Structure 1
Amino acid sequence: MGENKAKLMRGGVDMLSFSKQLLADTGIQEIVVSGNDYQVPDLIADAGPVAGIYSVLQHYRPAAILALPVDLPLMTPAALKQLKTKGELSQKACFFQGHNIPLYLPNNTYVELFMSQAFIKNKAAPGSANPGKKSGPSFKALLNQVPHTCVVPDNPQILFNTNTPQQWQQAKARFK
């Protein structure tokens, strides 16, 4: 993107605040932002977003996490509620078809085992082989190891991801 996606402005509010409001509107009472400049610093540097979830799990020990990236400017509370409800009822990781995140992730034995194998047992400094490159496990690797289900979103447009300036401009045209 070339700039911090959390600081991009959507209708007079930055994307981090927009995302936090989405979670609040979904009924999430404790909203935690992970990352070195936020509430929960990464326990393992340069290991990617799954490592951020690991850091939150280690710091808070929540019953579950509803992980939401800041680059989904068309996401809705209704869609997140659908995801959260399906995950709570099934007690499985839950995500939208074709997208590994947003992700409802129960903190259960499967998740603990995956995180232990990925981060605790293999604590050989992630990133040391390829400096500057994220080296932690992917969401796909996580989901291959934990029971999961996927939800077909009512409106697939909510999952429009903005990773480039061009995608951000397309999204801005949609929410004006």
Structure 2
Amino acid sequence: MSSFINADLDIVNLNTECLGVVLAGGLSSRMGQDKAQLLRSDQAALSMLAFSKQMLSDSGIKNIIVSGDNYDVPDTVKKSGPVGGILSVLARYPQAKSLLILPVDLPFITAKALAELRVKGELAQKATHFEDHNIPLYLPNNGYLELFMAQAFSNQVSNDNKNIKATHSRFKAKGPSIKALLTQVPHQAIKCQNANTLFNTNTPEQWQQAIQQF
């Protein structure tokens, strides 16, 4: 498990606290190498995965997990994209009150921006993202989300813990998008003070642009 997560996830606290989620399950096909393991060329020389966990931790998140086949929570439905990763996290931790979801390819994300996203989401009790960017995402774990997942994925729900065990996605190829999810849950978009904060690196060219700014 991540060094930023409690040795044993405190299930009681998850009923009242937000669970940090780093999405690191992508194929990184456009990058040509695992984006999670790219090294930031600043003084800390952190990998993008370590940096992402650090930002969530610095934003005030106590429990953090990494979604992806090689990490804490493997994908239940293979090749189902970020929503499939979220589904797998919810299946593992159905008690989580909410999720603060961060993709592993944002080299300039800040703890301040993530904290703002969570606070405004908690105040509104709505899924919350930045304008023109569906992710990072604060996502309440509520009936709206459960209904979307049930409709998007063939599933079996345990009567004991409402744990979704997905077997098949009705969305072909990449699974449902974050945009599709947001259309089905109460949500809001907030402004990001610095657009560079949300610069993502999906290609070697974008990564080289980022390196020049470290």
Class of the TM-score when normalised by the shorter of the 2 chains: over 0.9
Confirm whether residue 150 of structure 1 aligns to residue 184 of structure 2: no
Which of 83, 86, 100 is the matching residue for 1:53?
86
Q: Is the 8 A contact 1:92 1:148 kept in 2?
A: yes
RMSD across aligned positions (CA): 1.8
Kept after mapping to 2: 8 A contact 1:6/1:14: yes
CA shift digits 1:2-45 (9 cap, x unpaired):
11000000131100000000000011111010111111111111
Q: Structure 2, unaligned stretches of length 5 or more? A: 1-30, 157-165
> 8 Å contact 1:126–1:135 — kept in the other structure?
no
**1:127–1:15 distance in 2 versus 1, CA, 3 Å:** farther
Alignment of 1:14-163 (within 5 A): 14-61=47-94, 62-120=96-154, 125-126=168-169, 134-163=173-202
Separation of aligned partners in 1, 2:170 and 2:32: 21
Contact 2:152 2:171 in 1 (8 A): no
Task: Give the whole-Å Cα distance in 1 for the aligned partners of 2:201 and 2:132.
Answer: 16
TM-score by length of 1: 0.92
Q: What letter is aligned with 2:34?
A: N
Local SS of the residue matching 2:74: coil
Q: Which runs of 5+ in 1 are unaligned?
A: none
Q: Whose helix fraction is larger, Structure 1's or Structure 2's?
A: 1
CA deviation after TM superposition for structure 1 residue 87, in Å: 0.5
Amino acid at match of 1:26: S
Secondary structure of 1:114's partner? helix
Cα 1:124/1:22, change in 2 over 3 Å: closer
Among all aligned residue pairs of Structure 1 and Structure 2, give the percentage whose two residues are the same amino acid: 56
Count of residues in Structure 1 that have an aligned counterpart in Structure 2? 171
**Closer, same or farther: CA 52–163 of 1 in aligned 2, 3 Å:** same
* Local SS of the residue matching 1:145: coil
Distance 1:70 1:163 in 2: 10
Q: CA deviation at 1:53?
A: 0.4
TM-score normalised to structure 2 length: 0.76
Residue 153 of structure 2 aligns to a residue in which SS? helix
Indicate the structure with greater strand content: 2
Please report how far the alpha carbon of residue 58 of structure 1 lies from its aligned counterpart in structure 2 after TM superposition.
1.0
Aligned to 1:7: 37
The Cα shift of 1:126 comes to 4.2
